[in-house]
Amino acid sequence: MSAVIMDGKALAAKIKDHVREQVEKMDRKPGLAVVLVGENPASKVYVNGKKKDCSQCGIYSEEYVLPGETTQEELLDLIGALNQREDIDGLLVQFPLPGHLDGKAVELAIRPDKDVDCVHPANMGYLMMGEETLWPCTPAGVMRLLSEYEIDPSGKRCVVVGRSNIVGKPQAMLMLWGDATVTVCHTKTPDLAAECRQADILVSAAGHTGLVTGDMIKPGAVVVDVAVNRNTEGKLCGDVVFEEALEKVSYITPVPGGVGPVTRAMLMENTLRAARRHGK
């Protein structure tokens, strides 16, 4: 049986259509504020994409592009002001921040009920305990992709490659809540290939081009490639050697066009959820 390439663009359009339908029924529209500090070109692309998504979904949006020399106090003052505004339901600060800024302090400053990318420790704690909270967008997008293709993690062996706070760790937790048996691999894992070969569902979020080769994949596995890298030719690619994996897997996400579009769509859904919690 040939592998199914999971279409993230189609799913993202479906999610955004649903969000737009819900927003049209609301008297007060959800609002999202995105804050970008500095001149990171990749971050600018992401921010522009989020602005476009908001327009498509009928969500009110504001964008704050601050100079790279912005001080900690200035950034925290802006976050504090946005926290207090009733028309802003979601608040997202684009990382990475310039080196002189304290990212932890910024995460703590965002009001948990407006934390639409689940970076506040309170929301991460709720996620750990399995309590209702706003899920981080990328791991939530992975779970939505699996659901869309009727792939049930329950009873499956899942291997997550990468242990970041924004993807690897929360992804492992969501898989656990989906009743998978989860292994998290990282730079100190002694035999990554052997661990990957055990996976019924393999999620790679390490950010290293060519890290997962075809011989590291169990026949029939589901492979979700979260990473967005550039190869030596400058083309976008993930961690997984796609052509090699395609010969082994049952399902696989492409890069680009896989997890990325769904991540952006989940931000729209989280903003809608936050607005509903605020009584809109």
Do residues 212 and 231 make contact, with C-beta atoms less than 8 angstroms apart? no
What letters, b where the CB count within 10 A reaches 16 and e where it falls short, cover 257-272? bbbbbbbbbbbbbbbb
Query: Does the annotation count 50 as an active-site position?
Result: yes
Which listed residue (16, 50, 114, 156) is catalytic? 50
CA dist list (Å): 176 to 112, 180, 192, 203: 23, 5, 20, 13
Report strand pairing: 4-5 vs 60-66: unpaired
Cα-Cα-Cα-Cα dihedral sign, residues 74, 79, 81, 87: positive
DSSP letter string, 141-160: HHHHHHHHTT---TT-EEEE
Using only C-alpha atoms, the chain has a radius of gyration, in whole angstroms, of 19
Query: Does the annotation count 72 as an active-site position?
Result: no
Q: Give the residue from 269, 251, 191, 233 showing the smallest Cα distance to 16.
A: 269
Which listed residue (7, 115, 117, 239) is catalytic? 117
Cα-Cα-Cα-Cα dihedral sign, residues 193, 194, 198, 203: negative
Enter the tokens of residue 71.
């001080």
Strands (E) located in the chain: 4-5, 31-37, 60-66, 90-93, 157-161, 181-185, 201-204, 222-225, 229-230, 236-237, 251-252
Query: Does the annotation count 179 as an active-site position?
Result: no
Q: What is the Cα–Cα distance from 101 to 95, expressed in whole angstroms?
A: 11
Which listed residue (53, 94, 114, 115) is catalytic? 94
Catalytically annotated residues: 50, 94, 117
